Structure formats: C-alpha cells, structure tokens
Amino acid sequence: LSGSDAEGEPIASAKPIVLGFSQLGSESDWRMANTRSIQDAAKEAGIRLVFENAEQSQQKQFEAIRSFIRQKVDVIAVAPVVQSGWEPILKEVKAAGIPLIISDRSIDVQDSSLYVTFIGADFYEEGRKAGKYILDKTRDMAGPIGIAELKGTEGSSPSIERGKGFKETIASRPELAIVQSEFADFTVSKGKERMKEILKAKGQEIKVLFAHNDDMALGAIEAIEEYGLRPGKDIYIVSVDGTRKAFEMLIAGKINCVVECNPLLGPNLMQAVTEVMQGRTLPKRIVPSESVFTEQTAKKFAAERKY
Ligand code: GYE
C-alpha cells in the first residue's frame, strides 16, 4: 500500500503504486511474452503501469526514463537494449530519488547503488549449456566441425554473455570452430538473411548453428531448407529461449536443443516493486530458474509452454 493516515493505518483507497517501465522493443516472441507478463502482473498486483516501447533505441529509453521522472512515478524499471552507457541517466534517476530496477538484460555500471536489483537470467550460463550440448552431440563426429553463430543485438548483454559462455565451453575441443559469426538482431527475418549469406559463403563447412535466440533459428531453418540441407540433421541447431514455435521445431527434429530463457518476469518484478515501496531490502540479483530441452524431451514439456 502506498498511503497511510495520520495514525499510520493504511488507507483503504490508497493511491496505487505507479511503475514506469521502459521496454526495449518488440523484436521476438520472447519479448512479446515478457511484455505481456509485465502487463498482466501489474494488473494483478494493482500497480499502475506506464509502459514505453523504445524500439531498440537506447536514446528512446533515455527519453522514456526522463518522462517517468517528470511524471514523478514511484518506481522505474528498465529492460536495457545494450549493456553500456547507462551511468549518466541512472544518476538522473537517483538524483530524483526514484528507485530503479533493472529487468531482463544486465548493464555495465561501476556504481551498483544506481539500481536496487537486477531481475534476469544468467546469459553466460545459457551459452555454456548450449556449448555443452554441442560438445556431446558432436562427440563421435570427425573434425573439423564448422559452426555458424547468429548473434543477437550488438552490445546487448544476452548476446555478449551467451557468445562468451558458448565459446569458452567448446574451446575444450579444438575440432569445433566458429567459422562465421554474424549479428542478426534477435529477429526471424535477419536470422534468415544472415544464414543465407553464411551458407552461400561457407555452406559446405557448416555442421552446427548456434543461434542466440529461437527467432533467429526459425529464420535460419528456412534459409537452410532453401539451400537444400536438412536443419537438425545436416546442420545441428541449438538456440536459446524456449518459445512454443521452437518447441514445434524440436518435436519435428529441425532444432536439436533449446536452452530455456524465461521471459515471465512480471510477477518477480511486481513483487520487487511492492517490496521497494515497503522499504524492504532486496537481493542485488534475482535469477529465474531455467532448463534445457532437447528433441528427445520436447514432447513431454510442449503442452505446458506458456510462451
Ligand atoms: O533471448 C531474445 C530477446 O534479452 C533475454 O532478447 C532477452 C533476449 C531474448 O529478443 O529472444
């Protein structure tokens, strides 16, 4: 509750908490599920949500945050499009005395007092899980084993961390080598375009595709089929997120493994917002639990997918 009377008793009709949320865009199914989760959870918690979509522009996120400051919202939450460049704007928020929560993607700041908590996945670990799967899947395959990498948004923490975790894991086997690595912005269309180019240049060498999200893998599958190869058979595919569409591809054997990244952060976020308003101390990091799904296990879990 955000209000109390002179005796400190909560007022029944207390004004709802106002949360300004800067979403980074609408590039993928993961993102759409994330947005929906936040909107639904706000409604359920009785929190008034002021929602802004930055369409992949950090500048737009700055503008949204400044408008939240002007509106004097109670709490600000940000899903940051890229990792760097946040320090000055977060100082403005701090100077305005508004608590700030980082959601989904991590940021790179020296001064961790600039935010209350970061609610989001361990992207480095996701990359490691993808790498481990490929190590096992190609165990009996003779080298060299060429890998194509479809990276997400340049400078974004999931792309940086997933790439790092994957690379460090496959390094234990020198036959595994990334022969081409391209940014494809986490979208289906760019995933298809970039994969087309990769196949044109190095089609014969590519045995594995690591896509930093499902959407790019879905685009790449189209490119691989148009090129005349069988996704999941001629080219092993591992991606990240765990969307329904990716599950269908797992079941069809066109994707071999999906590392889960949970977009349903709304309830966690609203809980954090409520606790901040109650003056409670939050953990600096809140990590949702995540799993790994393969072509063998996908069927069992498909029915309960929420995104
Ligand atoms: O994996 C991708 C989305 O930041 C974790 O962004 C998120 C990533 C997610 O576009 O699908």
The secondary structure of 127-163 as a DSSP string is HHHHHHHHHHHTTTSPSPEEEEEEE-STT-HHHHHHH
Q: Is 240 in the pocket of ligand 1 (CB under 6 A)?
A: yes
End-to-end CA distance of the chain: 31
Query: What pLDDT is recorded for position 304?
Result: 87
Residue 217 · residue 248 · CB < 8 Å: no
Rounded mean pLDDT of the chain?
95
Q: Provide ipTM, 2 decimals.
A: 0.99
Query: What pLDDT is recorded for position 303?
Result: 87
| Beta-bridge mates of residue 183 | 151
CA distances from 291 to 47, 257, 260, 294 (A): 30, 11, 5, 10
Q: Is 185 in the pocket of ligand 1 (CB under 6 A)?
A: no
Residue 119 · residue 262 · CB < 8 Å: no
pLDDT digits (tens, 9 = 90+) for 50-99: 999 999 999 999 999 999 999 999 999 999 999 999 999 999 999 999 99
Least confident of 120-129, 268-277, 293-302: 293-302
Q: Is 28 in the pocket of ligand 1 (CB under 6 A)?
A: yes
Q: Is 27 in the pocket of ligand 1 (CB under 6 A)?
A: yes
Query: What pLDDT is recorded for position 2?
Result: 46
Pick from 161, 187, 261 the residue to mutate for probing ligand 1's pocket: most ligand atoms within 8 Å of its CB.
261
Query: What pLDDT is recorded for position 289?
Result: 85
Ligand 1: centre distance to CA 25 (Å)? 10
305 or 227, greater pLDDT: 227
Task: From 304, 270, 257, select the one nearest 135 (Cα to Cα).
Answer: 257
- Output phi, psi for 36, to 5 deg: -60, -45
Residue 19 · residue 42 · CB < 8 Å: yes
pLDDT digits (tens, 9 = 90+) for 101-118: 999 999 999 999 999 999
Residue 11 has pLDDT above 80, yes or no: no
pLDDT digits (tens, 9 = 90+) for 151-208: 999 999 999 999 999 999 999 999 999 999 999 999 999 999 999 999 999 999 999 9
Task: From 205, 193, 132, 195, select the one nearest 168 (Cα to Cα).
Answer: 132
CA distances from 17 to 50, 168, 272 (A): 11, 44, 12
Ligand 1: centre distance to CA 39 (Å)? 18
Distance CA 278, CA 238 (A): 43
